[in-house]
Structure formats: C-alpha cells, structure tokens
Structure 1
Amino acid sequence: MVKKRGDKGTKVTLKTARKAIWMTPDGRCRLTLSNMGITIFPKCLLKLTDVDELDLSRNLIQTLPNNIGNFLSLRWLDLHSNKLESVPESIGNLVGLTHLNLANNRLTSTGLPSSLGSLSNLKSLNLGMNQLDALPPTLVALENLQELGLFDNLFVKMPEFVKVLCNLTKVNVVRNPLSYARGNGAGVLKKSELKEDVYLANESSLCKTCLKKCKVQREEFKRGGKGGRGDRVDDDMLEEKRVKTYSGLMVPNSVAKVNQAVWRIKHNPATQTLICA
C-alpha cells in the first residue's frame, strides 16, 4: 500500500514498487508509478534495475539520482510531466534505451547532458513543453532516431544536426519562436520548409477541450487563415496536413483520455498479467 507523507509527497516502498510491475503483451517488464504524487525519486527503485520499462510520469519529481544510469535493462523511460530542471550525465549509460520521454518539465539547454548522444539505440525522444533553445551537438550521433518532439519550447532555429539524421522522419516543432514562422505573417510553414513533418494526434486520443481546439484551428486553415484576414495556405500543404497522421504520436499525454502505454502497444491494461512479488 502506498503511504502518504503530507507535504513531502508519496512514499514508495520496495514492496509497493514490486506490486506495480506488470508484464506487457509484448513480453516487457514494466514498472508503472505514474500520477502518484511522488516528489523524490524512490531510492528503492535502484534495487529493481532489471525492469525493461519505467514510467514515473505525472509526478512532482525535481531531480534524478546520479546513478540513474544503473538501469541498464531499460528500453523505455517515461518522465513526462514532472518538475525536472536537469538530467544526470549517467543517463548516457542507458545505451539500450529506445524511447525517452522528458516532455512537460522545466528543462533548460544547460540541463541536458552531452551524454544523451551516447543513446545510440534511441528511436523516440520527446523534449516538448520545456524551456529549451538549443540541444547538445552530440545528438548528431543518434543515427537510429526516428521521432523528435520539440514542441512548446524556445527554439528560434532548428538544431543543425536534425538535417543529417537519416532515419529521422517525424519532428514536432509547433509553438516555438522559429525565425521562419515570424517571417511569414500567418506563422505557417511553406511547403518548401516542410522537410520535417509537424504531425497531429489522433482525435480519439485527445480530451474534449483539446479536440475542440484542434477542430477550430483546422477550420481556420481551411478558410485561409485565422480571423478571415486573407492569409493563404497552399492547397497541397493543407492536403498533407489532413491526410498525414501517425500512430504512437508524441504529445503530452496529460491531456489524453488514456495513458501512453495504451497508445504505444494498443492493448487494454486490463488484459495484462500482474507479476506478484
């Protein structure tokens, strides 16, 4: 049973953590401690370094332990919607990591270690909803990276290394003060500038409020710009935006009806097998 500690947040014991381990339908061992009011990274988790996936999202964690790199078996690490201001250098030891979600924290560019470039197997990196204006140049080594989330940050230009990552197919940079967005009045990317796709979430994954906002914005695009000011959008580009949707999208799932695990593996958690301690 999880114990409450008032202003100090929720205390997670080793027994609690073990009971929170599940076997996913694809055979992965996942430890889920999401949305539990945790303020301090539970030290007891360092005794469970054989888990494949660790979900500590939607908590109040401000710092990660320096030995976070001891989780050598990790393939998925979800820390979105916490209060992190930096990431330890040791995260570079997690060379087996394929998905890393650090969205909706308080990260600045100085808080991202150069060791992120050592995550050679990383396929998905979500850094959206932070305070970033640059990324470590070492990320050019992430040759297997396919998805990169940079939405809702402070970028005025795209990181140079993005252009040379041959497997990178999806980049989300919406709501950044990018120079080309300021250059055209409507803040709409020209078709020639769409070298990286700005993708949208599936409607079924959004809450009613976000879905309503998306539909309003879509209608404004169709009418030729917000408020009917005569701003024009290339028809081909609109068609691209309408038909290009992807599964497993990187949006902050704090606004979603279901959690990230459901999006990813497309299975109901109720069908998963609980591992008893």
Structure 2
Amino acid sequence: MAKGKKRSSEPKGRKITLKMAKLALNLTVDGKRWLVLSNMEISTFPKCILKLCDVDELDLSRNLLKKIPDSIDKFVNLRWLDLHSNQLDQVPEAIGRLQNLYSLNLCNNCLSTVGLPNEIVLLRKLRCLNLGMNVPETIPSSIAALKELRHLGLFSNHLTQVPECLCNLPHLETVNLKCNPMPLEDDKGIEPIQRVECLYLVRESCLCASCLQKVKDDRQRMDSRLRRGPAHRKSIFAGLNTPNSVVQEDQATWR
C-alpha cells in the first residue's frame, strides 16, 4: 500500500455501466420496460441509468445502496419501484415527483420515521407501499392522503400502536402489522382489513450473525421433524431442486 494512503473500510461495490444496464432491460407481460439491477452488490446509485429514465419499472433491490439521489425524479414514467433490502436510512423528497408510481417497496432498510419525507403523500396513484423491516416508531399521519392505497406493509418495525391514519384510507384492503411491539388487542383496531404475511428471500451472506444462527436452528428443527415423521413426507418436495424456479419464471405475471 502506498505511503499516506488509507485503506477504505467501505465496500466499493460493483460498478454498473450503461452497456450492462441496457442488457438488464426486460419487457413485462403488458409490454412495459423493466430495468432489473437486483442483487448486484451496487453500493452507489448508477448515474448511467439516468439515460434509461424512460423505463416503467425499476428494480434496485438486494444491493448495498445507502442513498437514492434527487435525480430519481427523472424517471417520470415509473409505475413500480423496488428498493427493498438495501441500507437506506432516508428517502429523498424527490420521490414525491414520481406521479405515476403505484407500487413502492422500501422493505428491509434502515428507515426511521424521520427518514420518510412528507412528499411521499404526493404519490396520488400509489396502491402498494411496503415499509416493513425498518425501524420507525410511528408512521406519518399524512399517509392518510394516499387515498388510492390498497396494500400496506408495516411488519417488523418498532410500532407500539396501530397508526390511526389507517382509518382514513378508504380503499385499504390489506395491512401487515405483524412483529411490532404492540399489545395483541390493538390488532382489533384494523378490522376488517386483512392482515397478511410477506416473505423475502435473501442470501445467507446478507444476514447478521444472530439471524443466520436462527435460520440454521430452524432448519435443523425442520430436518429433525422430517426424520421423525412418515417416510412419504420426505418426498413432498421431490423435484424441487430450485424452490423458486417457477416463481422466477412467472414473476412478471404475479407481480
């Protein structure tokens, strides 16, 4: 190492070129342009994709992003934005200028209450909002302005009570409040809204030590139960070499 230079402790991440981004372009089943840059170890928002800002859907999930720039508002056609499983602690105010957005996934980041800008309520067409697996203790009451919201994920946060603003969302169909430190009886306040559970698949290398150990313990318990059970139970998943192979092939449809 050259004298005077310090070794950075921050991972550089993978550099995305315009050529790579163009190869990551896909078409959805309804003919919309879908840019998929998921799980590519990207630590900095790739400026080159601003040249592809006419895409309809953008997937930057499962990366190492800590910041989304204000230039995100260049993607004026975006209807679907997936940023789940990054390291974001705030969302830029410019997010409110994505007027065509109907689905926003911010699950599994580091967002607190102050990390959610008030401008998010400007997304008048928003139908799906996932804020699960973050660290907010409250949800901004201004979310009640999202009158078209149908599905809301608030699971695995630090909420101590059911947000009152949910009562002012006329079209809300499902809300997930599981794994929050709130009294169980508080769940009654959201009926008849359906409570749902969500599943996100991540690589083991992305898990912290305690979470990884929990996964291993659960796996051992499941294996133990299968060994004790009838022989035919072991063949239930025979042939499923890649558990999500069908899902991956059909994800454009069910998404």
TM range (shorter): 0.7 to 0.9
User: 1:11 is matched by which residue type in structure 2?
Assistant: K
How is 1:155-234 mapped onto 2 (pairs within 5 angstroms)?
Answer: 155-178=159-182, 180-181=183-184, 189=187, 194-200=191-197
Alpha carbons of 1:262 and 1:149: their partners in 2 closer, same or farther (altered >3 Å)? farther
Which of 27, 35, 39 is matched with 1:35 structurally? 39
Distance in 1 between residues matched to 2:131 and 2:36, nearest whole Å: 20
User: 1:118 is matched by which residue type in structure 2?
Assistant: L
What is the RMSD computed on CA atoms of the aligned residues? 2.8
Alpha carbons of 1:164 and 1:261: their partners in 2 closer, same or farther (altered >3 Å)? farther
TM-score (norm 2): 0.74
Alignment correspondent of 1:68 = 72
Distance in 2 between residues matched to 1:84 and 1:261, nearest whole Å: 29
Question: Does the alignment pair 1:266 with 2:254?
Answer: yes
Q: Percent identity?
A: 44
Question: Does the alignment pair 1:115 with 2:112?
Answer: no
Q: Is the partner of 1:50 in helix, strand or coil?
A: coil
Deviation of residue 263 (structure 1)?
4.2
Deviation of residue 32 (structure 1)?
0.1
Deviation of residue 135 (structure 1)?
1.9
Deviation of residue 194 (structure 1)?
3.2
Distance in 1 between residues matched to 2:48 and 2:191, nearest whole Å: 46
Q: Contact (CA 8 Å) 1:120, 1:143: kept in 2 or not? A: yes
Alignment correspondent of 1:234 = none
User: 2:109 is matched by which residue type in structure 1?
Assistant: N
Deviation of residue 266 (structure 1)?
3.5
Q: Contact (CA 8 Å) 2:162, 2:190: kept in 1 or not? A: no
Distance in 1 between residues matched to 2:75 and 2:20, nearest whole Å: 18
Which ranges in structure 1 are unaligned for 5 or more consecutive residues? 1-5, 217-255, 268-277
Q: Is the partner of 1:7 in helix, strand or coil?
A: coil
Q: Contact (CA 8 Å) 2:113, 2:137: kept in 1 or not? A: yes
Q: Is the partner of 2:11 in helix, strand or coil?
A: helix
Distance in 2 between residues matched to 1:107 and 1:158, nearest whole Å: 18
How is 1:46-65 mapped onto 2 (pairs within 5 angstroms)?
Answer: 46-65=50-69
Q: Contact (CA 8 Å) 2:29, 2:252: kept in 1 or not? A: no
Distance in 2 between residues matched to 1:114 and 1:261, nearest whole Å: 37
Q: Contact (CA 8 Å) 1:206, 1:257: kept in 2 or not? A: no
Alpha carbons of 1:201 and 1:130: their partners in 2 closer, same or farther (altered >3 Å)? closer
Q: Contact (CA 8 Å) 1:114, 1:137: kept in 2 or not? A: no
Alignment correspondent of 1:257 = 244
Distance in 2 between residues matched to 1:69 and 1:109, nearest whole Å: 22
Question: Does the alignment pair 1:91 with 2:95?
Answer: yes
Q: Deviations over 1:66-121 (max 9, x none)?
A: 22112110000000000000000000000100000000000000000000000000
Q: Is the partner of 1:54 in helix, strand or coil?
A: strand
Distance in 2 between residues matched to 1:95 and 1:260, nearest whole Å: 29
Which ranges in structure 2 are unaligned for 5 or more consecutive residues? 1-9, 203-214, 223-242
Distance in 1 between residues matched to 2:145 and 2:190, nearest whole Å: 24
User: 1:56 is matched by which residue type in structure 2?
Assistant: L
Q: Deviations over 1:192-237 (max 9, x none)?
A: 76332212459xx989x79x89xx9xxxxxxxxxxxxxxxxxxxxx
Alpha carbons of 1:263 and 1:18: their partners in 2 closer, same or farther (altered >3 Å)? closer
**More relative contact order in 1 or in 2 (CA 8 Å, sep 6+)?**
1
Which of 129, 134, 139 is matched with 2:133 structurally? 129
Which of 147, 151, 156 is matched with 1:147 structurally? 151
Distance in 2 between residues matched to 1:107 and 1:67, nearest whole Å: 20
